[in-house]
Amino acid sequence: MEEVVEILSKERILVLMGGTSAEREVSLRSGKAVLSALLTLGYPAYALDYNHSAIDQILIDKPDLVFLALHGQNGEDGTVQGLLDSLDIAYTGSGLTSSVLCMDKVLSKKLFKYEGIPTAGYKILKKKDLIDSDAIHTLKEEIGLPMVIKAATQGSSIGTYIVRNEEDILSAINNAFLYSHEVLAEEFIDGKELTVALLGNEQPEVLPIIEITSQNEFYDYESKYTQGMFEHIIPARIDRISEENIINISKQVYELMNCKGFARIDFMLDKNGYPYVLEVNTIPGMTELSLVPDAARAAGMSFEELVERIVRLALKK
């Protein structure tokens, strides 16, 4: 008698990558890595470079799930999430509102402050604020030096500058305005740069904390995506009290921002052991050099297992 083998069908998954943001090249690398993992896992997966024609293709294909590997504006900021919601198509990661809040550093800062989440002191800048001839000196007096200047709606440290001299403040702000209509001036926290990856929906699993060191002044775009320019230290070289505190804050922030699936929360730990939340990444990188895959690996999870978990969590939302 011929043996009957049951074949379990798997969801058709579209990997959306590329896009139009300043993080396009990183997104392509994330998307290719995810697609390879999905095919290895046996999913009938395929990829599209996100643009207007891709939207038409999504309408035709109607995939069971979209795996979002888009980074930055027009991908991580709620725009694609809203589109997929309107089409009633499931997707990985956080929803529209969460994506908007986490991508916009100004909104995030306001919410952190309101909820008592420890974060560096800051001032929100608009272009009209620079009309006053004393604006730069006043900013220096309020924030102090060194200070951090950040474009409000970018990821991968694009439009971020550490300023140590008053004469360099204005040029840093103007450069940040090239990427965003609002800019943050933040107090500089001298200490360890840490990141925490979380995996889950209502009760997320906290993956091992990573300490980041960089060949550059900070973990900037070049450092993030150039082999040999950084080191991911796991476990992070912090004491147990700091570790427990950061884990608790991470869970609090994940719930506060209504994150789903997976996310990465960046911290600075000052020299007195006090943690400050920098930002939340709702579609963190999934490249061979990225932090979340490294954290998963430290937890005993292969890249394919990580991708599978993200897919399953998306289908449960």
Picking from 260, 202, 206, the residue whose alpha carbon sits closest to that of residue 236 is 206
Residues 6+ apart with CB under 8 A from 87: 58, 59
- For residue 171, count other CB atoms closer than 10 A to its CB: 12
Cα 148 to chain centroid distance, Å, stands at 18
- For residue 118, count other CB atoms closer than 10 A to its CB: 15
pLDDT at 208: 98
Could you give the angle at the alpha carbon of 282 between the alpha carbons of 188 and 231, nearest 5°?
55
Picking from 195, 210, 224, the residue whose alpha carbon sits closest to that of residue 288 is 224
Residues 6+ apart with CB under 8 A from 110: none
Are the C-beta atoms of 188 and 205 separated by less than 8 Å?
no
Largest distance between two CA atoms of the chain:
90
pLDDT at 104: 94
- β-partners of residue 162 are 148
Residues marked as catalytic: 23, 156, 225, 264, 266, 279, 281, 285
In the chain, the amino acid numbered 84 is L
Tell me which residues of the chain have a pLDDT lower than 70.
1-8, 155-156, 215-230
Q: Going edge to edge, which strands form the sheet with 65-68?
A: 45-49, 13-17, 65-68, 90-91
pLDDT at 7: 42
DSSP state of 144: -
Picking from 53, 64, 42, the residue whose alpha carbon sits closest to that of residue 18 is 53
**Rounded Cα–Cα distance for residues 259 and 255 (Å):** 6
pLDDT at 228: 62
Picking from 269, 254, 311, 267, the residue whose alpha carbon sits closest to that of residue 286 is 311
- β-partners of residue 266 are 195, 279
Give the up-direction half-sphere exposure of residue 128: CA atoms within 13 A in the CB hemisphere: 0
> Is this model's pTM higher than 0.85 or not?
yes
